[in-house]
A and B are shown apart, each in its own frame.
Chain A
Amino acid sequence: MLVPPVSQDAQVINNLYVVLYIFSALVFLLVEGLLVVSVVKFRRRSANDAPIQIHGHTGLETMWTILPMVLVAVIFLFSVNAMNQLQATGTFNDPLNHVHGINDQVAIKRVSEAKKVDIVINVTARQWMWQYKYADGFVVNQDLVVPENKTIRLDIVSADVIHAWWIPALGGMIYVNPGEMSHVWFNAPGGTYYGQCNVFCGLAHSQMLSNVKVVPQAEYDAWVAEQKTK
């Protein structure tokens, strides 16, 4: 991944990408290499060329069916392993990411007990902005500000159409569907991480930015105090 991963989730995804990239590079070189050789070495040299008429070869055909199947199985297992890691230690690829029905109290209770979190922020996605409602009651429409190295849970709902929450450096994206609550957990070091809505959501889709500012605890406390006085 070219966006440097900063969260544990992004790191898991990045590791899987590197593995698949190596497999892909090998397949790519093999196919393109064979292609170049067959075109260069066997190009027509005389108008009377009459090559031997080969109709097929069962052994070869079996080989290039079995070997790709093995390769695909290996890739599948690597991917499932990454999914399990995301589900166990990270926050994505969990049924709890989507609660089908905002008022499903049982599911909401399960989400709140699933992982120990430091801060919960209610997020509303609407055409074309993200609104963050903090526990202290204030609402911000600009960047999301959170303290560094703390586990944050976002409870995201959509007020209108489908949007998607995605901060590339934090890894993993999730659709925000109307009538559902989507959950994202993250824990990030200090920095500013860019993101924006990732499902086409109408006219000003390209301006629906969702940047995350992760700041030291003291700076965060000062920022919260300032917001409360507004």
Chain B
Amino acid sequence: MASVSIPVAKPGLLSQMAGWMTTVDHKKIGIMYMVSTFFFFLLSGIFALIIRLQLMAPGMQIVDQNVYNELFTMHGTGMIFLFIIPMLVGMGNYIIPLQIGARDMAFPRINALSFWMLIFAGVVMEGGFLLGGTASGAAWTAYVPLSMKQFSPQSGMDIWLFGVVLLGISSTLGAVNFLVTIYTMRAPGMTMWRIPIFTWTMIVTAAMVLLATPVLTAALIMLITDRNFSTQFFTTANPRLWQHMFWFYSHPAVYIMVLPAMGILSEIIPVFSRKPLFGFKVMVVSTILIGVLGFTTWVHHMFVSGVDPLVERFFMFTTMVIAVPTGVKMFSWIATMWKGSVSLKTPLLMCIGFLSTFVIGGITGVIQGAIPIDMQVHNTYWVVAHFHYVLFGGSVFGIFAGLYFYLPKITGRMLNDKLGKVHFALMWIGFNLTFFPMHILGLEGMPRRIATYAANRGWDLPNLIATIGAFTIAVSVLVFMINFIINIMQKKGEIAGNDPWEGATLEWAMSSPPPVYNFARTPVVESDRPMIEIRAKASGSNAPGHTGSHN
């Protein structure tokens, strides 16, 4: 690129900070999302380590049971509301306008508002706990009547509820922004079937957020007024009303957390196999089906709550059926690699981490969807194992795949692939050491959310292994941070160039990092993999690839 150097005074720290704080650029907002949610990930991870220390052996007392109850509540809500969901939103924020050839999000100021509300909500939620020591001690499910003033009088409960309300509003605003952006701002030529698959998953995710989150927000506000103004929405005459409203959001939330990660996989696997995504349309349709069916399964969280058995059968069926579109995705990813040229770089290894572990979460989901089984494993460590296989094995491996894939684009520097492989190996081993034994604990009758246990129950060994696994995961995250600090913050990594991976979509056509205005001229899209043509034109050959310098 020809460049003219114009001497510009480097802005001071204060004006740089002011620049970040007032920005409406989707890329800067995306980076702020990713950085801040990573800190919430570390904080919630530290909570998890304390929990694992406490459960390492029977009768341990690292923290007292009051603090323990707050810790698992804050670990769960921190990971879900302040890490997985907003981290994926941040990645979408950065990548999606680039993928669809837009200059920014449709509503840049609302975009900034969503981000700052998230930060404010996170500070409120964690602040109530870290400063006052009075967080919500009613678990993330906050079941009524335990979450009522009578049984949870501490103000930390109100502070926590208020924080989650703010998150819900932030999330809903973000969903509207994504939908409008993708609907109205696509580059010319980008028809429905040429929308990149990651963008497709964000469409479905945003639609789910728009339909589900307001229900939780309403329920939370009703609970706040019940607690403080005696409004009596949730009385003991109907102990299931809160559960219905809570799970009507919180079950779709699982798909809100996993669909964008699936979208990231669907971008990475074809690139690292040098093949198109197997069955693109089927992948899109299965994403939509998961989105629709995701709204029909919430009662499976209430199979022992006292719902009529006839109603339960319907929800048992829908719960099992949702495994079908998920299975279609699994087979399509494997078929994408089949007969390809599979490059075992860190982004692909993280995808393998997703595929190899998520399948277990999917299978256990069907098993516990069977009501008689659920009557034996509900609320036990089996369930803890199941949803960590979905949310860590699925979402978190997907997030790290996305970070290794997109950080070169975002920062202009490559992460070290050897350190990346060490990170992957330690995290995969640590993950399975931590969560596989929890299946056994659940079958042996260990309930979740207990601060300690007696020595006579035979739960000692699986718990010890799980604790060792948790610290292995912590080490793997440290390896990632060292990799990031050396190669990106200290700029020691290789220069990425525009297209280090032989990418398929428009973001790889621009410089790394992209210029503030994104595209100098709005691109015209002629296929579902525009980069293939752009590369072919550049090199005068039809073979896929060859332009990347790092493969």
The residues of A with any CB-CB pair to B shorter than 8 Å are 1-3, 10, 12-13, 16-17, 20-21, 24, 27-28, 31-32, 34-35, 38-39, 42-45, 47-57, 60-61, 64-65, 68-69, 72, 75-76, 78-80, 82-83, 86-87, 92-95, 97-98, 100, 127, 160-162, 164, 166, 168, 171-175, 177-180, 182, 194-206
Contact = CB atoms under 8 A, between A and B. Distances in A.
A57 to B, nearest CB: 8
A35 B239 CA distance: 45
A179 B236 contact: yes
Contact of B334 (A17, A38, A175): A38
A54 B275 CA distance: 7
Contact of B306 (A3, A12, A38, A180): A180
Given A72-B321, A83-B309, A203-B66, A13 B274 contact: no
B363 A196 contact: no
Contacts of B320: 72, 75-76
Contacts of A61: 279, 282, 328, 332
5 interchain residue pairs of minimum CB distance:
A49-B341, A98-B306, A206-B450, A168-B445, A79-B370
Contacts of A195: 445
A65 B273 contact: no
Nearest to B532: A53
Contacts of A79: 316, 370-373
Contacts of B69: 200, 202-203, 205
Interface in B356-385: 356, 359-360, 363-364, 366-367, 370-373, 375-376, 378-380
B331 interface: yes
Contacts of B335: 54, 57, 60
11 contacts: A54-B339, A57-B278, A61-B332, A78-B370, A79-B316, A93-B375, A95-B308, A177-B236, A178-B236, A198-B447, A202-B69
Max chain B C-beta neighbours (<10 A), residue from A3, A16, A161: A161
A172 B375 contact: yes
Nearest to A55: B276
Contacts of B444: 2-3, 168
A91 to B, nearest CB: 11
A127 B65 CA distance: 14
Nearest to B308: A95
Contacts of B305: 175, 177
A199 B143 contact: yes
A95 B312 CA distance: 11
B375 A64 contact: no
B268 interface: no
B304 A43 contact: no
Contacts of A198: 378-380, 447
Secondary structure dominating the interface of A: mixed
A92 B543 CA distance: 63
Interface residues of B, number: 89
B61 to A, nearest CB: 12
Given A35-B356, A56-B278, A199-B379, A87 B309 contact: yes
A16 B373 contact: yes
A93 B324 CA distance: 26
A204 B355 CA distance: 39
A75 B316 CA distance: 10
A160 B144 CA distance: 10
B340 interface: yes
B139 A200 contact: yes
A127 B150 CA distance: 12
B397 to A, nearest CB: 13
Nearest to B305: A175
A80 B544 CA distance: 51
B316 to A, nearest CB: 6
B338 A42 contact: yes
A17 B374 CA distance: 10
B375 A39 contact: no
B324 A56 contact: no
A1 B274 CA distance: 45
B342 A54 contact: no
Contact of A179 (B237, B312, B378, B443): B237
A39 B342 contact: yes
B366 A75 contact: yes
B146 A162 contact: yes
A178 B239 contact: yes
B457 A194 contact: yes
A205 B317 contact: no
Interface in B433-469: 440, 443-445, 447-453, 456-457
B313 interface: yes
B337 A20 contact: no
B352 A75 contact: no
Contacts of B189: none
Contacts of A197: 447
A171 B377 CA distance: 10
A76 B447 CA distance: 26
A44 B443 contact: no
A200 B453 CA distance: 14
Interface in B327-354: 327-328, 330-332, 334-335, 337-344, 352
A84 to B, nearest CB: 10
A52 B200 CA distance: 25
Nearest to B310: A95
Nearest to B453: A206
Contacts of B448: 200
Given A79-B370, A82-B372, A206-B450, A173 B378 contact: yes
A31 B341 contact: no
Contacts of A172: 372, 375-376
Contacts of B443: 1-3
Nearest to B546: A48
A51 B282 contact: no
Nearest to B303: A93
Contact of A13 (B360, B373, B543): B373
A51 B341 contact: yes
A47 to B, nearest CB: 6
A127 B278 CA distance: 55
Contacts of B545: 50
Contacts of B453: 206
B237 A72 contact: no
B500 interface: no
A161 B145 contact: yes
B519 interface: no
B323 interface: yes
A75 B370 contact: yes
A230 B304 CA distance: 37
Contacts of B239: 162, 177-180
A171 B375 contact: yes
Interface string B538-551: 00000111100001
A31 B334 contact: yes
Contacts of B312: 93
Interface in B239-283: 239-240, 273-276, 278-282
Contact of B331 (A39, A64, A177): A64
Nearest to A31: B359
